[in-house]
Structure formats: C-alpha cells, structure tokens
Structure 1
Amino acid sequence: MELRHLRYFVAVAEERHFGRAAERLHMAQPPLSQQIQQLEAELGVTLLRRTTRKVELTRAGAVYLDRARAVLAAVDDAGAEARRVAAGLEGRLVVGCVGSATYSLLPALARTLREELPDVDFAFRGEMLAPDQVAALLARTIDLALLRPPVDHPSVRLSTVRRDRLIVALPEGHRLARRRRLGIADLETEDLVVHASGGRSVMHGIVARLCRAAGFEPRVRHEVSETSTLVTFVASGLGVAVVPEPVAELGVTGTVYRPLTGEHRIDLAAAVRVDDDSPVLARALAVLGELTRQT
C-alpha cells in the first residue's frame, strides 16, 4: 500500500464517481479502477459498491475514509511543518545577554523576534557574564550570546553588533556629578564598584587598565556579578562605576551618569557556535542586525 492508494480512494469516495475522480486526479479511469481494486484486495474488504450509475461506500469504506483522510492530512501537515522549520519559521532559540544588553537591547529584540517569527519558541537569559555565556553556548543550553569580547575559542564565532561608549555612574549628589564630563584620573580617590574579577567580566579588566594607564591603582571596594546590583550599589552611595552607556537605560533612582572623556568604547558582539547552521538562528541574526542598524 502506498499513499497514492489512499489519495485515489479518497477522491473516488468523495466524488462517488470513478469518472469524476479520474478527472480530479488527472488520470485515466481504468488505471484508477485497478488501483482501488488492488487496495481492496490488500485490505481483504470491499470499500465501495459499484453500480452502473453510482458508487457508494460500504460501512467498512466509510470508516476507512475517515482514517485515510486523517493519514493524508497528517502527511501534508508534516511536510508543511518540515518546510517551515527548514525556512527558519518554526523551532526554538535561546538567547543569552550580558547585563547592559539585557536592559538596552533585549526588550526591543524580544518584541521584534516574536512579531516577525511568531511560531518560533524564544527563551531569553539575562545578566550573564561572558564566560558563562560561552560555557552555555558550548553546552548547547543557549544558541545566541550577546556578550563583550574577547572570546578565544575555536568553536565560537563572533560578529560585532555595536560599539558602546563608556560613562561614569555616580550617586546622586556626588561632588563629581556637578561636572559635565569626567576623566579617568578624576576617579583616583574614589571607591569603585566593578564587575567580577578573575577573568569573569571583561569590564573589570577594562576599568583596571584605564586606571593604570592614568597612573593609579583602582580602589575597588565592591565586586558584583550583575549590572543591576552594580547600579544599585552606586545609587546607595557605596562607590562610583565605569559602565557601558546603555547601562543608563536601567533607570535606577539615585544614580546619575556623566560622559567619560576620550574615545573609550567597548564592543557588544553576537556569539554563536561555528557548527550551528540553524535557519532559525540565521533569521534571528538578521533581525538583530536590522534592529541595531536602526538604533
């Protein structure tokens, strides 16, 4: 038995006429009659009663018609779904975000992805440090990482999404908040709140290098893993911080921001596995690229 036998039977059963069914199937009537006879012989039951004027379903034929329609519908649905998956219109994608991208890019990205790819199951993980995102990529628990380079792993491919300026976060009312812009040297005597050390945060290393290039060792008083915690500590008067400009969009009351003099910037990159050829990922990267070009 082949699917064509089911399609032939459904056509005859619905038309109640071999001639009309043959026209519908774009074939001659004699071969159609032979195929139906083969189907009945294989099943060992009579599906259709034929007279000179009409064709009627037997009780067995009526039951078989319902099942045949269901089988053919399932086959058609499977094909349609496979085509949609191959086109990147269905599937699942998990996106990880570094802290500053969680507040500045993730909301718009999540909305746009869900609008343009409504049948894709998207999941998002925010406030992830770069090493944690790389580990999650390699473990295949996330598929796309928005992180701060560098990443040195042969199984991970990076593409720059944007370049963010560095700014200074200060407690509201801080003496330096009266200035329109600040230099790194202005922070020499300030307690600093920074992201985690030990290679876990790219920002920790950048702040340390900027301070040393200005001729002083940073006075680190608090290390945190999450950007929201860092800004909350600043708002609480526990220190000042150097952060990417998008952090200002977090909007924590009690924190003010001032530009940092000089061309100090940090890249935001999209990281994926080099062997990931998922059509859903390709569509998500295209959406990400269009979104960042508009901003």
Structure 2
Amino acid sequence: MDLRQLRYFVAVAEECHFGRAAQRLHMAQPPLSQAIRQLEGELGIALFHRTTRRVDLTDAGRAYLDRVQAILAEVDQAAHHARRVAAGAVGHLTLGCVGSVTYSLLPTLSRHLAAELPGIDFSFRGEMLAPDQVEALHSGAIDVALLRPPAADLSLTVHTLRRDRLVVALPAEHPLAAMTQVRAADLADLDLIMHSADRHAVMHDVVLGVLRDAGVEPHIRHEVGETSTLITLVAGGLGVAIVPEPVTALSLDGVVYRPLIRPEASIELAVAHRADRAEPHLARTIDVIRRLF
C-alpha cells in the first residue's frame, strides 16, 4: 500500500465511476481498476459495489474513505509545513535589545517583523547589556542581538546597522539645559550617572573615552545596568549622563537632551547572531532587520 493507491481510491470514491476517476487522474482505466483491486486485496475487504453503470462505496469503503481523506490531508499539510520551514517562513526567535533600542526602535521593529514574517513567532528581551547578550547568544537564550559593539567574539556574525550620535541627558533645571548644545568640557566637575563598569557595559568605556579625550576626569556618582534607571536618576537631579541619541525616545518629566559636541561622538549599533546558526527563518529575520535600518 502506498499514497498513490490511497489517492486513486479517493478519486474513484468521489467520482463513483472508474472512467471519470481515470480521466481526473490523467491515467488509463485498466491500471486504475487493477490498483483498486490490489488495495482491496491488501485490506481483505471490498471497498466498492460495482455495476456496469456506476460504482458505490460499501459500508467499509465509506468508513475507510473518512480516514484516508484525513491521512492525505495530513500528508499535504506536512509537505506544506516542511516547504515553509525550508523557506524560512515559520519558526520562533527571541531577540535581545540594548536599552536604547528597547525604547526607540523596538515598537517599530516588532511591527515590521510581524508584517514581513507573519509565520515566525518573535519574542523580545529588552534592557540587555552587550556582554549579557553575547552570553545569551551562546546559551541559546536569545537568537538575535541588537547590541553596541565591540563584540570581539569570532563565533558571532556581526553586521553594523548604523552609527548613533551621543547626546547629554540633563535635569531640566540644570544650568546646561539652557544651552542648545553641550561640550564634553562643560561636564567637568559634574556628577555623572553611567552604565556599570562591573557589568562591562560598552557605553561605560565609550563615555570615559569621550571625556578623557576632552581632558575631563569624570566624577562618577552612580553606575547602573539599565538605561531606564539611568534616565530616571537624571530626572531626579542626581547627575548628568551621556547616552546614544535613540534614548531620547525615553521621555521623562524633568529630563532634557542636548547634542554633545567637541568632540562630536557616536557609537555603532549592530545585529549579531551565532556564526554556526544558518536556519532559513533566522537568515530572513537578519535580512529584514538590515533592510529596515
């Protein structure tokens, strides 16, 4: 018994005529009649009442037809699903995002992915520092990372998406808030709120580099792991912070943002995944993200 015999049986059952069933199957009638007899022989039952004018299902044939139609439908669905998997149209992926992406880009990104790849189930983890994202990529906790390089790990594939300018987050009542732009030198002797050095935040080293290039020795008052916490502390008047420009999407009462100049600095945003991952749905997702940016 094979699927071909089952499809022959369904055609004869639905047409109630060997000639019409043969035409539907684009084959001659004698081999069709022989295939049905072989099927009945293998089952040990009669599936049809045959007359010179028509063919009718026996009670056993009707019962068999219901199951065979369900089997063939499952086979067709399995083939369809396998083709969609091979095309990268279905699957599940978890994306990890740095804080600035969480607040500025994630709403647009999630809508864009849902529209372009509706068969893929996406979940998101926000407020992840780059070292935590790299570790999560290796463990499989996330599949794709939107992070701030450097990610010096040869086991990862990293694509730069764009560069974001740095801005200064200030308490609204701070004297520098009256300026249209802020120099790095203006931050000398001010309390700074920074991403955590203990957690190896990329922004920590970037901010130190910008300030020291301007001859400013930073006075760090608080170090935090989450961008939302950092901006909340600025709103509370506990210090100032240098952040990527997309953080300005996190609008809180009591905080204003001003462009950073002299030196004018920026930081890369990249998408990363494990180099040994080559699933079609992962590749399609990376392609959509790169085109979006």
What's the CA shift for 1:121?
A: 0.6
Q: How does 1:58-73 map to 2 (within 5 A)?
A: 58-73=58-73
Q: Is contact 2:199-2:225 (8 Å) kept? A: no
Paired AA for residue 42 in structure 1: E
Paired AA for residue 245 in structure 1: E
1:11-70 Cα distance to aligned partner (Å, 9 max, x none):
000000001101111111111111111111111111111111110101110010000000
SS in 2 for 1:159: strand
Q: Is contact 2:5-2:36 (8 Å) kept? A: yes
Paired AA for residue 45 in structure 1: I
Paired AA for residue 47 in structure 1: L
Paired AA for residue 58 in structure 1: T
Q: Which sections of structure 2, spanning at least 5 residues, go unmatched?
A: none
SS in 1 for 2:216: coil
Cα distance in structure 1, aligned partners of 2:272 and 2:264: 25
Q: How does 1:29-178 map to 2 (within 5 A)?
A: 29-178=29-178
Cα distance in structure 2, aligned partners of 1:15 and 1:176: 85
SS in 2 for 1:260: strand
SS in 2 for 1:208: helix
Cα distance in structure 1, aligned partners of 2:264 and 2:271: 22
What's the CA shift for 1:122?
A: 0.6
1:179 is aligned to 179
1:112-160 Cα distance to aligned partner (Å, 9 max, x none):
1111222211101110000111111111121110000001112101111
1:266 is aligned to 267
1:161-192 Cα distance to aligned partner (Å, 9 max, x none):
11000010000010111112111111111000
Cα distance in structure 2, aligned partners of 1:44 and 1:135: 61
Q: How does 1:194-233 map to 2 (within 5 A)?
A: 194-198=194-198, 200-233=200-233
Cα distance in structure 2, aligned partners of 1:202 and 1:229: 17
1:280 is aligned to 281
Cα distance in structure 2, aligned partners of 1:244 and 1:46: 76
Cα distance in structure 1, aligned partners of 2:117 and 2:20: 42
2:235 is aligned to 235
How many residues align structurally?
A: 292
SS in 2 for 1:283: helix
Cα distance in structure 2, aligned partners of 1:278 and 1:263: 40
1:65-115 Cα distance to aligned partner (Å, 9 max, x none):
000000000000011111111111111111110000111111101001111
Q: Which moved more, 1:275-284 or 1:122-131?
A: 275-284
Q: Which sections of structure 1, spanning at least 5 residues, go unmatched?
A: none
What's the CA shift for 1:279?
A: 1.6
Paired AA for residue 170 in structure 1: L
Where in structure 1 do 4 or more consecutive aligned residues deviate above 6 Å? Answer: none
Superposed CA RMSD in Å reads 1.0
Cα distance in structure 1, aligned partners of 2:250 and 2:282: 27
